[in-house]
């Protein structure tokens, strides 16, 4: 072990280590008391017994290094330098809290100290940490991301996906497993075939070490060595810190799964008792030093309680604040050049990616087979040759892992385009999309945003049967914090990506599989488009046909057929499913007095149901007929072509419904 790896156990240093542990312990004891008084609500997970890990790891990190924690993160935040006043105020839910009162005990965030928050999802922070490190790797920066998690997380797929990516891509992550042996209430031997956690990391080729997590000096020594190594090599290191929590999993936990005698036995070798006893025995400190540390902690805690009690509740009027970031102005309309080029939807998307890569070095594309293969739908064919493997990044088949990595990279300032091969695969990444990308801005009180673009193919029509023919974009439109786009035209295929990459929030782009071969003329000057507005694709006065994505051209064809019957239909291309452009929809319906919605999603709980409700709520008295809907039938999409066609909206069905609405 080199000099740089060894802690300097002089008086100043050992007092600092002891001070950190006692400060955290006493703070948490106060939190337990406040919880019984119902000052702190929700779940409360205490760190009692595990203090040596945070105290040994975090002071070794530099200011530019990042921390991703778990729901048991109060000690991590305090030792990182988040003020105790704002930590406790957050646990109270007060506006003065470190997350503005929006995160609570499990979601402490602090941008000033690069503290990327606790995470209530077991293992959920691992992909985020991988993405933060990926950003550093791609920019050539020497930062380290420290990721804390419990041993329960190692059963999650996100753990294994992140381990693989970290080793595959040489990500500078310090993985710190706070192995307390019980996850929530099940001992390791009950839940894991391999109870030596570090062996799981070694299985991926990651250097891994077992550390006595009750010995703060051992933790610090291991951390110093690991951090120095990560900075030198850029490669991950894994620390399996064996520890024990003296209290329940959370304050709701009756602890019926372990004996009290076992807890008391562990308390005798707790990190504070052990370290303090050794220091006193070796006369490195005196009883008066301990008394002074405890008095200082008590005073700080009293100040934090007073601060929190005096704190204010955020006004109800601010309820919708920090759902989205500051919204950029819509792009100025591009003046047509008068010169067009024959192209396809597929090529328009490809050129949008290519243009973005040229414009902004922060942009990169990642996903399954996007590089050497050229993309499942050949959208990215040739881009790896032009931009290299670093920026056209092939990923393993690990949707949650690489989507989470894209989210983390975006949070660190990159502009990733994540391609999920098909919409049904996106469900494997739903945890990262919904629980991290869509919520981190709100839970952090606006401190962190995720400007990631996630593209995926959607829809039926290629005889791929039930597992590859979903239209789930309406599901995602249900989630606050996301923007959901469905480009149907060549202009939108080219321009929506441009605008989405300049948005401060996560944007999901759904590309209908039946549009990739759609061909037409595209202006050579085509540029960014407004991603928040619907478009009138055909003017009309008799009824409004409202649709999006793959159904647009079927609906336009229906409008032409209706015109031959003397029915003049207006066709609205929604383009954006979240936010919905109520103004354009209601203006059209106010003019035509009839609305028929065409939606490839299933009828129950569909986006068409939402649109219908909004029309009824805001425009009922302008209607001459009930709102109509043409949706996919309530069946898994079949394989035979005639049944597949019967299952999804088609032009004849749209025409028939429109005629019936007009009494024809």
* Residue-wise pLDDT tens digits, 380-433: 999 999 999 999 999 999 999 999 999 999 999 999 999 999 999 999 999 999
CB 643 within 8 A of CB 582: no
CB 217 within 8 A of CB 145: no
CA distance 385 to 311: 57
- Mean pLDDT for the stretch of residues 96-118: 94
E-strand stretches of 188-347: 207-212, 237-242, 340-344
With CA atoms as reference, report the closest residue to 469 among 637, 601, 598, 635: 637
CB 625 within 8 A of CB 542: no
CA distance 403 to 547: 29
CA dihedral 527, 533, 534, 538 (to 10 degrees): -60
Which is catalytic among the residues 468, 511, 570, 600?
468
Flag whether pLDDT at 343 surpasses 80. yes
* Signed CA dihedral, 492, 493, 494, 497: sign only: positive
Flag whether pLDDT at 248 surpasses 70. no
3 state SS of 576:
strand
pTM of the model as a whole: 0.94
- Mean pLDDT for the stretch of residues 471-495: 96
Which is catalytic among the residues 167, 178, 399, 644?
399
CA distance 561 to 520: 21
CA distance 50 to 272: 10
Flag whether pLDDT at 283 surpasses 50. yes
Q: Residue 68 belongs to what H/E stretch?
A: strand 66-68
Flag whether pLDDT at 5 surpasses 70. no
Active-site residue, 468 included: yes
CATH class of 340-523: alpha beta
Flag whether pLDDT at 152 surpasses 90. no
pLDDT at 259: 79
3 state SS of 557:
helix
* Better pLDDT: 138 or 7: 138
Q: Could you give the percent of the chain with pLDDT greater than 90?
A: 84
The domain ranges of the chain are 46-83+105-287, 340-523, 535-661
CB 77 within 8 A of CB 20: no
Flag whether pLDDT at 3 surpasses 50. no
- Mean pLDDT for the stretch of residues 526-554: 96
- pLDDT tier at 263 (50, 70, 90 boundaries)? confident
- pLDDT tier at 162 (50, 70, 90 boundaries)? very high
Per the DSSP assignment, residues forming a β-bridge with 176 are 148, 239
Look over the chain and give the mean of its residue pLDDT values, rounded to a whole number: 93
Flag whether pLDDT at 544 surpasses 70. yes
CA distance 480 to 601: 19
CB 153 within 8 A of CB 159: yes
pLDDT at 1: 45
* Better pLDDT: 152 or 593: 593
What is 535-661's CATH topology? Rossmann fold (3.40.50)
CATH architecture classification, 46-83+105-287 = 3-Layer(aba) Sandwich (3.40)
Let me know if the fold of 340-523 is the same as that of 535-661: yes
3 state SS of 551:
helix
Q: Could you give the percent of the chain with pLDDT greater than 70?
A: 97
Distances (CA, A) of 291 to 15, 19, 78, 271, 340: 12, 11, 20, 17, 80
Flag whether pLDDT at 177 surpasses 90. yes
Q: Which residues contact 621 (CB under 8 A, 6 or more apart)?
A: none
Active-site residue, 220 included: no
- Mean pLDDT for the stretch of residues 424-451: 96
pLDDT at 253: 62
CA distance 534 to 660: 26
- Mean pLDDT for the stretch of residues 283-305: 96
């Amino acid at each position: 072990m080199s000099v740089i790896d060894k802690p300097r156990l002089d008086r100043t240093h050992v007092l600092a280590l002891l001070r950190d542990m006692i400060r955290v312990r006493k703070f948490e004891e106060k939190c337990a008391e406040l919880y019984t008084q119902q000052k702190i609500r929700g779940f409360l997970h205490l760190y009692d017994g595990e203090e040596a890990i945070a105290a040994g790891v975090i002071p070794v990190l530099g200011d530019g290094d990042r921390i991703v924690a778990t729901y048991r993160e109060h000690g991590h935040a305090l030792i990182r330098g988040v003020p105790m006043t704002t930590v406790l105020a957050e646990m109270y839910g007060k506006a003065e809290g470190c997350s503005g009162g929006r995160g609570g005990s499990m979601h402490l965030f602090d941008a000033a100290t690069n503290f990327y928050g606790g995470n209530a999802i077991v293992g959920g922070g691992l992909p985020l940490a991988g993405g933060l490190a990926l950003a550093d790797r791609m920019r050539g920066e020497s930062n380290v991301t420290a990721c804390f998690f419990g041993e329960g997380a190692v059963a999650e797929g996100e753990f294994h996906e992140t381990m693989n990516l970290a080793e595959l891509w040489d990500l500078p992550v310090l993985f710190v497993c706070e192995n307390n042996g019980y996850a929530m209430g099940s001992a390791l031997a009950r839940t894991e075939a391999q109870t030596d956690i570090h062996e799981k990391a070694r299985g991926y080729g990651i250097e891994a070490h077992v550390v006595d997590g009750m010995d703060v000096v051992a933790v610090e020594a291991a951390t110093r060595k690991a951090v120095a190594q990560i900075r030198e090599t850029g490669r991950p290191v894994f620390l399996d810190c064996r520890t024990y929590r003296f209290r329940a999993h959370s304050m709701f936990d009756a602890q019926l799964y372990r004996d009290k005698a076992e807890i008391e036995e562990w308390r005798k070798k707790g990190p504070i008792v052990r370290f303090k006893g050794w220091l006193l025995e070796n006369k490195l400190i005196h009883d008066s030093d301990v008394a002074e540390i405890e008095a200082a902690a008590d005073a700080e805690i009293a100040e934090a309680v007073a601060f929190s009690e005096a704190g204010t509740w955020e006004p109800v009027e601010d309820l919708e604040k920090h759902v989205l970031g500051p919204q950029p102005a819509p792009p100025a309309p591009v003046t047509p050049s008068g010169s067009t080029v024959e192209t396809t939807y597929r090529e328009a998307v490809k050129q949008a990616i290519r243009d973005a890569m040229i414009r902004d070095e922060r942009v990169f594309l990642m996903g399954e087979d996007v590089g050497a293969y050229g993309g499942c739908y050949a959208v990215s064919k040739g881009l790896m040759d032009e931009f290299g493997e670093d920026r056209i990044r092939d990923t393993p088949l690990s949707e949650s892992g690489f989507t989470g990595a894209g989210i983390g990279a975006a949070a660190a300032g990159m502009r990733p385009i994540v391609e999920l091969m098909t919409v049904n695969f996106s469900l494997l990444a739903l945890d990262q999309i919904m629980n991290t990308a869509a919520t981190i801005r709100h839970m952090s009180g606006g401190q962190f945003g995720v400007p990631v673009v996630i593209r995926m193919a959607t829809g039926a029509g290629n005889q791929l049967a039930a597992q590859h023919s979903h239209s789930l974009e309406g599901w995602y439109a249900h989630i606050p914090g996301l923007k959901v786009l469905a480009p149907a035209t060549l202009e939108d295929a080219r321009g929506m990506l441009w605008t989405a990459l300049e948005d401060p929030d996560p944007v999901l782009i759904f590309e209908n599989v039946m549009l990739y071969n759609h061909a037409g003329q595209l202006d050579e000057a085509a540029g960014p488009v407004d991603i928040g507005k619907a478009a009138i694709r055909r003017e009309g006065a008799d009824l409004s046909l409202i649709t999006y994505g793959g159904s647009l051209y079927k609906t336009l064809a229906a409008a032409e057929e209706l015109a031959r019957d003397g029915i003049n239909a207006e066709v609205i291309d929604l383009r954006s499913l979240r936010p919905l452009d109520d103004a354009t929809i209601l203006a059209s319906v106010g003019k035509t007095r009839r609305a028929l919605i065409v939606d490839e999603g299933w009828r129950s709980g569909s986006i068409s149901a939402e649109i219908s409700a909004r029309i009824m709520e805001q425009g009922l008295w302008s209607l001459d007929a009930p709102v109509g809907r043409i949706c996919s039938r309530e069946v898994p999409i079949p394989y035979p072509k005639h049944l597949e066609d019967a299952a999804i909206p088609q032009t004849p069905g749209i025409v028939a419904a429109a005629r019936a609405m007009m009494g024809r």
